[in-house]
Amino acid sequence: MSAVDVRDVVRHFPVGQGLLRGAFGGSARAVKAVDGVSFHIRRGETFSLVGESGCGKSTLARLVAGLDAPTAGSIRFADAEQKGHRVQMVFQDPYASLNPRYRIGSAIAQPMRFQKLVPAAEVGSRVHKLLRQVGLADADAAKFPHEFSGGQRQRVSIARALAGQPSFLVCDEPTSSLDVSVQAQILNLIRGLQRDLDLTCLFISHNLAVINYVSHDVGVMYLGRLVEVAPTRVLFEAPKHPYTRLLLEALPRLDTRGRDRPPIAGEIPSPLDPPSGCAFHPRCPHANERCRVERPELRAEPDGAQAACHAVAERRIPVTVHGSANG
Amino acid sequence: MSSTPSLSDALLRVASLRVEIPTRHGALLALDDVSFEIAPGEVLGFVGESGAGKSLTGMAILGLLDPPGHVAGGEVWLGGRRIDALPPREMRRVRGREIGAVFQDPLMSLNPLLTIGAQIDETIRTHLPVGAREAAERSVALLRSVGIPAPEDRYEAYPHQLSGGMRQRVVIALALCAEPRLIVADEPTTALDVSIQAQVLALLRKLCGQKRTAMLLVTHDMGVIAETADRVAVMYAGRIVETGTVEELIRNPVHPYTRGLMGAIPPLGPVEGPLAQIDGAMPRLNARPPGCAFNPRCPDAVDRCRAAAPALEALGTRSVACWVHGPTAPRKAVQ
C-alpha cells in the first residue's frame, strides 16, 4: 500500500520577473525544475531520488514535504486525513538548520510544544529519550549548536525531526556535508530508526553508494524528470537508462584503477532551455531521430524497473533484465 | 643549496614538517612530523577527514599558510632546492612556475573581472619569456588541451559565462600553463557532479602523464584516490598514519583508522548489516589526547597507545604509525 502518491507533479519557476518585466512585457520563460514526475512510496519503505545538481531532486523533496506547492499535479498522502499524519524533514547543512541561539534541548522540544504532542511536564524526559535514541547524552540538551561537531549536529537535526513524531520523513542530502566515517554513523542511525519506527522516507542524495545503502526503490532524475525508477538491487545490477549507466560508470570505485575509458562528454543542459524530445539525447550515445523529437515516458520492464528511453523500449541497446542471468 | 641531503630521485621531499598555529592559549600543533616524497610523474593522494591536515600540507608546500599559521620545523625540498624558507618574492616565482595549484572552488581561483584569456596570458607572461602574441596562442592551445570546446571564443569569455566543470578546466589550464613540475590539487573535483568529476579526473591524469608532472592530490574521497593516485597517505589529526601503494592500502589496510575509513565507505553491492563505523570524531587541535591521537576511537588500543605517539615506520613496502599493528608490534599482531 502506498503511503504517498505523487502524480504528474510540475513545479515551474518563472524567471525574468521583476521591475523590468512590466516595462518590457515580460517573458513566458520558466525554469522547469520539476516537469511531470510520478512515483509512489510504500508504507515503511525508503524511496530515494538521485541525480546531479539542478536535476530538481531537492525541489521535489520540498514539494513532498509541503514547503512549496506544485504548479500542477498532486501529492497525496494515504493517511492525510488521519490524526497521526505528520511530515518532518532533515536538511543537508546541520550548521544552517539549527538556530545558534537555542539550546538544543529547546530546539528538540519545539515541535512537541508546537504540535502539542506531549504534556508539558513530559517534554523534558521525552527530549532526553530522543537524544539517547540518536546517540547523544541527556546532558547535551543544555548545550548550544556550536558546541557540537557536524555529525553530532546532524544527530540533533534527526532528533528534532523525530520529536514531531512523523509518519513520513524527508531527508535532503543528510550526509553530504559529513566525513565518511561520520556519514557511516548517520546512515546506520537513519536506517535503524526507519526500521524501528516504521517510517516512510523520501531520501535525496547525489551519492549512489549512499542511495544503495538506504533505499528500497530508487528514482533517477535528469532535468526535472524521472528517467528510471527501479527497486534498488535492480537499478544497481541491471541499470536500463543510458543516463543511469553513465552515473554508475562515472562513479569512482575502489576496485578500478586509472581507467582509460573516456568518460561520457557533455554537461547537463540549462533547465531554462531543455533539449527537445528526450532531454538526455545530446549526451546519449544511442540517440536517434525519434529521441530528438519525441519525449519518452516511463515504461515498465519485466524486472520491475521503469525506464523512459526509446532505445531501451525498442531494444536498440542491449538491456539486462535483473535476475534472468542467474536463471 | 650546497648541502643537498636527498639521495633519492624524488622531486618533492618533505621531512618532519611541523606547522603551528599560535593562539592565546598557546600554539596548536596542526601538522606534526609529516614526511613523504613524490617522484616525477607520480600521483600521491592525501586522504583523511576534515581537519586532519591534508589541505594544510598542500598549503605549507605552496607557502600559502594563512597567518598566524606557520612552518615551525622540518624541510621542504623541490628538486634539490629547499623551498620552505624562501623569501616571499622568490617563493612567488616558485608558485606557478614550478608548482601549480588547483583548488576546490574554481570561482575563488579566477578573477571575475578579467577574461579567461587575459588571466592565462598574464600567468604565462609572468613565468615564461614570451611576448603577448605567443602567450595568446599558447592560451588558446591550453584551453583546447583541457577539453574546452571553441577555445578561441572561450578565450574572450568571463568566468561567470562558463559552467562549473568548464571553470575547473580553466583553473587546470592556469595551473599547467608554465609547465610546472608539481601540481598541488586540493579537492579539485569536490564541487563537481559525478559525470563531470570523471571528465576532470581523466583530464588531470592524462595531462600529468604526458608531461611527467607529479601531483599531490588532496581529497576526502577514497574513490577519487583509487582511480587517480599511485600512492596514498592517510592523515589523522595532523600526522600521517599510513602510506603505501593504492592497491595495498585498499586491499589490506593495516592501521585501525585506515581500516575504519575503508569499512565506512558504503559499497555498491547489497549491504545486510550496518556499515562499519568509527565511533566518535577526530579530536580538535586543542584537545588532542596523549599518545596516539586515534587511541580514544581505536578498537585495538593498549596502554602503550595512550602513553606515546608511534612514529611512521616501514612495514614491507608501506609505512605505518601504530604500536599494535606497526613494525614494532609483537609478531603475532602483524597480519
Q: What is the pLDDT of residues A144-189, one digit of tens each?
A: 999 888 888 999 999 999 998 898 999 999 988 888 888 888 899 8
**For testing contact with chain B, the best of A181, A203, A215, A256 (most B CBs within 10 A):** A181
Contacts of residue A241, Cβ cutoff 8 Å, sequence gap at least 6: A220, A227, A228, A280, A307, A308, A309, A312
Could you identify the residue written with the cell 592524462?
B206
Contacts of residue A261, Cβ cutoff 8 Å, sequence gap at least 6: A249
Per-residue pLDDT at B295 exceeds 90: yes
Per-residue pLDDT at B139 exceeds 80: yes
Q: What is the mean pLDDT of residues B123-135?
A: 93
> B223 vs A253: CB contact, 8 Å cut-off?
yes
Say which amino acid occupies A115. Q
B52, B106 contact by CB (below 8 A): no
Query: How far from chain centre, in Å, is Cα B258?
Result: 17
Which A-chain residues 20-79 have CB contacts (< 8 A) with chain B?
52-53
Beta bridge partners of B313: B320
Q: What is the mean pLDDT of residues B302-317?
A: 92
Which B-chain residues 236-265 have CB contacts (< 8 A) with chain A?
246-247, 250, 260-265
Give the separation between CA B261 and CA B242, rounded to whole angstroms: 12
> A251 vs B250: CB contact, 8 Å cut-off?
no
Which of A52, A149, A233 lies at the smallest CB-CB distance from B270?
A: A233
**Is A134 in the B-facing interface, judged by CB distances under 8 Å?**
no
A323 grid coordinates: 535476475
The DSSP secondary structure of A10-70, one letter per residue, reads: EEEEE-S-SHHHHHH-----EEEEEEEEEEEEETT-EEEEE--TTSSHHHHHHHHHTSS--
Q: Which of B307, B332, B9 is nearest to B181 (CA)?
A: B9
Which residue in chain B is spatially nearest to A261 when comparing CA positions? B202
Reported residue count of chain A is 327
Which residue in chain B is spatially nearest to A212 when comparing CA positions? B268
How many CB pairs below 8 Å do chains A and B form together? 123
Give the separation between CA B8 and CA A35, rounded to whole angstroms: 60
Which of A180, A250, A254 lies at the smallest CB-CB distance from B198?
A: A250
B233, B219 contact by CB (below 8 A): no
State residue A17's pLDDT score: 59
Helices (H), B193-277: 194-211, 222-228, 246-251, 256-264
Contacts of A252 in chain B (CB under 8 A): 197-198, 201, 221, 223-224, 226-228
* B66 vs A29, higher pLDDT: B66
pTM score, two decimals?
0.85
> A255 vs B265: CB contact, 8 Å cut-off?
no
Helices A242-250 and B194-211, interaxial angle, to 10°?
A: 50
A25 grid coordinates: 512585457
Percent of chain B with pLDDT over 70: 96
Reported residue count of chain B is 335
**For testing contact with chain B, the best of A254, A261, A268, A272 (most B CBs within 10 A):** A254
Say which amino acid occupies A123. V
Minimum mean pLDDT among B194-198, B243-247, B289-293: which range?
B194-198
Burial of B3 (C-beta count, 10 Å sphere; 0-12/13-18/19+): exposed
ipTM value greater than 0.95 = no
B276 grid coordinates: 562499519
Q: Which residues of chain A have pLDDT under 70?
A: 16-28, 256-264, 324-327
* A42 vs B163, higher pLDDT: A42
Give the separation between CA A33 and CA B333, rounded to whole angstroms: 56
Which residue in chain A is spatially nearest to B204 when comparing CA positions? A258
Minimum mean pLDDT among A60-64, B7-11, B123-127, B207-211: which range?
B7-11
DSSP secondary structure code for residue B288 in this structure:
P
**Is B279 in the A-facing interface, judged by CB distances under 8 Å?**
yes
**Is B50 in the A-facing interface, judged by CB distances under 8 Å?**
yes
Contacts of B267 in chain A (CB under 8 A): 209, 212
Whether the bond into B289 is cis, omega within 30 of 0 = no
State residue A172's pLDDT score: 93
B169, B204 contact by CB (below 8 A): no
State residue A327's pLDDT score: 36
**Is A259 in the B-facing interface, judged by CB distances under 8 Å?**
yes
**For testing contact with chain B, the best of A177, A179, A249 (most B CBs within 10 A):** A179
> B277 vs A192: CB contact, 8 Å cut-off?
no
> B281 vs A149: CB contact, 8 Å cut-off?
yes
Which residue in chain B is spatially nearest to A150 when comparing CA positions? B281
Give the separation between CA B10 and CA B41, rounded to whole angstroms: 10
How far does A106 lie from chain B, in Å, by closest CA? 24
Q: Are strands A2-14 and A72-77 parallel, antiparallel or unpaired?
A: antiparallel
> A209 vs B276: CB contact, 8 Å cut-off?
no
A78, A92 contact by CB (below 8 A): no
Give the separation between CA A107 and CA A109, rounded to whole angstroms: 6
B278 grid coordinates: 568509527
State residue B227's pLDDT score: 87
What's the distance, Cα to Cα, between the start and end of chain B in Å? 43
Could you identify the residue written with the cell 587517480?
B228
pLDDT-derived band at B316, boundaries 50, 70, 90: confident
> A254 vs B193: CB contact, 8 Å cut-off?
no
Per-residue pLDDT at B49 exceeds 70: yes
Q: What is the mean pLDDT of residues B95-115?
A: 91
A237 grid coordinates: 545490477
State residue A269's pLDDT score: 81
